């Protein structure tokens, strides 16, 4: 049986759950819907959510559904954050509107990035971005899209990286070469 799927999900105070075709999770930060595939049941028992499956043919969906439900419960109660750093001389970001970030990343033009609804951003010192939201998947995708505007290059390591990301630095060319 799935080790992830067997784990019960604790429900924090203030989080309401409706079980049906979808699992509707509502908390102080917002509401999320998690699809429940056929062959998977979600049961609420005294402050815990338990995900059960009808047979071994649903094993692949068992752990997935439990993980998605746990992420929804965590998202509506605490929320998620993702931090990015901009490294490079002259590279910076600034908020133009509540949902528009303008990046200056060494290209001949600034790049305007629209944030989707449900994701907020704070820019500290022009080079540190803190993304926050309740949907873990959407937040991770937005962070990946921002990073892809100028991924860190392996020689000087300039670009946008996740905070704490360890990069492998390549050795550049050496002086004299050839004959």
Q: Which of 66, 82, 80, 79 is nearest to 27 (CA)?
A: 79
From first to last of its 179 residues, the chain has per-residue pLDDT tens of: 567 788 888 888 888 888 888 889 988 988 989 888 888 888 888 888 888 888 888 888 888 888 999 999 999 988 899 999 998 898 999 988 888 999 998 889 999 989 999 889 989 898 899 999 999 999 999 999 998 988 888 888 888 888 887 888 888 887 665 55
Region of 142 (left: φ > 0; alpha: ψ -120 to 50; beta: rest) is: alpha
Task: Report angle CA 125, 126, 130 to the nearest 5 degrees.
Answer: 80
CATH class of 3-77: alpha beta
* Domain ranges within the chain, ordered by starting residue: 3-77, 80-162
Domains 3-77 and 80-162 agree in fold = yes
CATH class of 80-162: alpha beta
Q: Are 154 and 170 in contact (CB under 8 A)?
A: yes
pTM score of the predicted model: 0.84
């Amino acid at each position: 049986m799935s080790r992830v799927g067997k784990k019960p999900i604790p429900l924090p105070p203030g989080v309401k759950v409706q079980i049906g075709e979808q699992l509707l999770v509502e908390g102080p930060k917002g509401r999320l819907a998690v699809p429940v595939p056929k062959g998977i049941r979600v049961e609420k028992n005294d402050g815990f959510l338990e995900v059960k499956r009808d047979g071994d043919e649903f094993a692949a969906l068992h752990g997935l559904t439990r993980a998605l439900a746990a992420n929804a419960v965590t998202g509506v109660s605490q929320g998620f954050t993702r931090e990015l750093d901009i490294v490079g001389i002259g590279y910076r970001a600034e908020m133009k509107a509540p949902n528009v970030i303008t990046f200056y990343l060494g290209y001949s033009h600034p790049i305007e990035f629209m944030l989707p609804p449900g994701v907020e951003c704070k820019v500290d010192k022009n080079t540190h971005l803190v993304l926050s939201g309740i949907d873990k998947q959407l937040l991770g995708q937005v962070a990946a899209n921002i990073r892809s505007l100028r991924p860190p290059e392996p020689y000087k390591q300039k670009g946008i990286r996740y905070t704490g990301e360890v990069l492998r630095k390549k050795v550049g060319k050496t002086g004299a070469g050839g004959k």
